[in-house]
Structures are given as C-alpha cells and as structure tokens.
Amino acid sequence: MGPGPSDVHPRVLRAMSTPLVGHLDPSFIDIMNEVQELMRYAFRTDNKWTIPVSGTGSASMEAAIGNLVEPGDTMLVPTNGYFGGRMESMAERAGGEVVHVDAPWGEPLDPADVQDAFDEHQPDVFGFVHAETSTGVKQPGVPELTSIAHDHDALVVADTVTSLGGVELEVDDWGIDVAYSGPQKCLSCPPGASPLTLNDRAMDKVLSREKSPRSWYLDLSLLEGYWGDDRSYHHTAPITNVYAIREALRLVAEEGIEERWARHRRVAGALKAGVEAMGLGLNPEDEYWLPSLNAVLVPDGVDAGAAIDYVLDHYDLEIAGGLGALAGDIFRVGCMGHSARPENVSFLLTALGEALEAQGADVDPEAGFAAMREQLRQ
C-alpha cells in the first residue's frame, strides 16, 4: 500500500511461470502484437509507436526524453514535485537546455504560468507529470496545457507512471504527443517492461535527428526495428516481463478501462473518507486529489518514520514517507491496481490508526473505520 510496487495479481504471477521462447519466435511475435494493442487500449490511443520498453519506468522515461530532446533543444519542466526534477536531469544529460514552470510542491501547474513560460522561453519540448507520486497531486486541465504547447509548436511529454490504468487518461483526446509509464503501479505488474507511446509527430522528430541519441539501448529508431513491422533483432527482450505485462493488460481490458478508473475512485474514496474522519488531512486540495496515491498529512508531534516502521513491524504492511520538500510531512499511501480493494483499505486504517495512537496522536480510528464503510456502501 505504498507508492509502488503494488500487489501483483495471481494471474500475472502464473503467467510469469510460462516457459521461455525465443524473442523472435513466431509465437512470441504474436504476444508482442497483443501487448501493443492492449497497451493502446490502456493509453486510449491509436498510436502505432506504442511499445513496452525493456526496463523499469525510468527506462521508459529516459527513452522518451533522451530521444525527443536533442543537443541545443530547450525543454520546459515543472518544479512541483520530485519527478519534474528527474525530467530535468535526463534532459540535461541528453544535451538539452532546461527551463522551469514553477508551482509549489502539492499543487498542480497553473495554465497561466505555463503560458508565461512558453512566451518567455519558447521551448521545443514540454514535460509535465500527470500524477505526481511524490505529492499525491493529479494535474487537471491537461488539454489546456497541451494546447498552449502546440500553439508554440512544442511537443508534449507526459509522465503517466502513477495514472495509467488507475485514473482517467486520454492520450489522443488530450493531445499528448508522448506518454511513458511504469507497470508496477496501477497495472499491478512487476517492473521490467514499461509502457511508452509516441504519436507520428513525435516519432518523426526522433527519426529525423541529425545525431543519434546518446543511449544505443534506448534508441527508438533502433527499437522501431524490433517492435515495428520488421521484427528485426535489437536486443533480447525480457520475455518473462512481456508475459507479465500482457496478462496485466488483459486484466485491464477484461475489467474495462473506465470501470477500472471508477474502482480506483471508489476504493480510494473510502480510504480518503476514513483518514479524514480519523482526524487526518490530505496534502492536495480535493480538486487535485490523486486516487492512486494518497498523500496523508502527518499529525503534529508524530515521527513519520516511526509510524511507518510500526505498520511494517506489526502488520507486515508497507506505506512510505514523503520525498524532498515533503519529507516527514506526509505518508504516501498507494491505492493501485490489485491493491485497490476494500479489505486492504480496512487493514490499512486499522494499522495506521494504531501506529498513530502509539505515539499519542489525537486520532479516532473507529470514526475513520465507520466513515470508510459508509463510503463503500454509497
């Protein structure tokens, strides 16, 4: 119940025990085709260039930024969370110049500030975090941000690591040019094959680069040969991880993507109601609340690390603390994928309430539990 990885569905674990075949075996190519089509469904896109990158979500992130940002390009990145800083680092390593659009940690980007940053800096690439794992903030009004970028002929890269498969995400309808994600959050799949999608406009920029990207392994012009029509050798794919993400994506399709979004809202809403009735607050405003990652405020006088240790030691349950500017101020409680179940929320509220009472915090776990049950009944 932390910020990831989430619990893996038993069907995904069973799929990982499937015997290996060659990464160019005809049967595996059939699986590759299915993975790509299922991934398009989850991203809500028709993009041809939709693949699982061989690596964790950070590999997918670096594939997106490292291929799109060329030496001399300017990339606009946000300052309102930890992963905007990671975008900055990757863009600089790719040879780009980085400029910022500022917002406090725990708040989304303001479109007016994005507009001002574009007018001042005229960036070539704009990156934003749709679901900021470090703050529990969901970025609203995405189409407004992408419209600003496209009016300035910039490409848009979206970090959807904690949103894909868990909260509403419409890559095509919202005008997102590139989106990357990780499998271990709302898809409930072990890390190792990470979703990435690019539209034709973005891929045209990748294929027309004057200089190759600095990473051979993540060069999309080479990976296109393996995941594109040719199915030519580039590297040995993580076969077991591809089995896993296929099964995870099949579960998404069976549930239905909109129904899955609704489940996350319903179960996380019960968690939210419970912690608030217990006497705790959430870091973001309700308008920006991210169901898949709940940033619960640490009560005054409570040692967050000690409470996290208590929950783990006494209940074998994992939650996490804050990062960066929010270190010590929040608990990060995940409600993702297979973990987003009522019984897990009940277990969490019991464990967290006891951990806080052990430090003398003024909380009411019984009121929290009652509010959680009432929310689920509604």
Q: Dump pLDDT digits (tens) for 329-346.
A: 999 999 999 999 999 999
88 close to 143: Cβ distance less than 8 angstroms: no
CA–CA gap between residue 256 and residue 318 (Å, rounded): 28
Counting residues of the chain whose pLDDT is more than 90, the rounded percentage is 99
Q: 10-255 and 257-377: same fold? A: no
Res 60 pLDDT > 90: yes
Number of neighbouring beta carbons within 10 Å of residue 371: 20
Q: How confident is the model at residue 79 (pLDDT cuts 50, 70, 90)?
A: very high
Residue with tokens 């870091």: 283
Q: Helix 365-377 to helix 257-278 angle, to the nearest 10 degrees?
A: 150
Distances (CA, A) of 108 to 78, 290, 342: 9, 11, 28
Q: Give the bridge partners for 138, in sequence order.
A: 131
Q: In this structure, what are the phi and psi dihedrals at residue 74, rounded to the nearest 5 degrees?
A: -110, 130
Instruction: Return the H-helix or E-strand segment holding 306.
Output: helix 304-315
| Residue 189 identity | C
What pLDDT is recorded for position 378? 87
User: Across residues 39-48, what is the average pLDDT?
Assistant: 98
Residue with tokens 């006088």: 301
What pLDDT is recorded for position 355? 98
Half-sphere exposure of 324 (CA within 13 A, CB side): 16
Res 175 pLDDT > 90: yes
Counting residues of the chain whose pLDDT is more than 70, the rounded percentage is 100
**Both tokens assigned to 239:** 């076969």
Res 253 pLDDT > 90: yes
- Which residue ranges make up each domain of the chain? 10-255, 257-377
**Both tokens assigned to 63:** 């594939």
User: Across residues 163-167, what is the average pLDDT?
Assistant: 98
CA–CA gap between residue 108 and residue 114 (Å, rounded): 11
| Residue 22 identity | G
User: Across residues 240-251, what is the average pLDDT?
Assistant: 98
Q: Helix 239-255 to helix 257-278 angle, to the nearest 10 degrees?
A: 80
Angle at 346 between CA 342 and CA 347, to 5 degrees: 115
How many residues are listed for the chain in this entry? 378
Instruction: For 269-280, write each residue's pLDDT tens digit.
Output: 999 999 999 999
The superfamily (CATH) of domain 257-377 is Aspartate Aminotransferase, domain 1 (3.90.1150.10)
R_g of the chain, CA atoms, integer Å: 21
- The secondary structure of residue 286, as a DSSP letter, is G
CATH 3.40.640.10 for domain 10-255, yes or no, is yes
Instruction: For 105-150, write each residue's pLDDT tens digit.
Output: 999 999 999 999 999 999 999 999 999 999 999 999 999 999 999 9
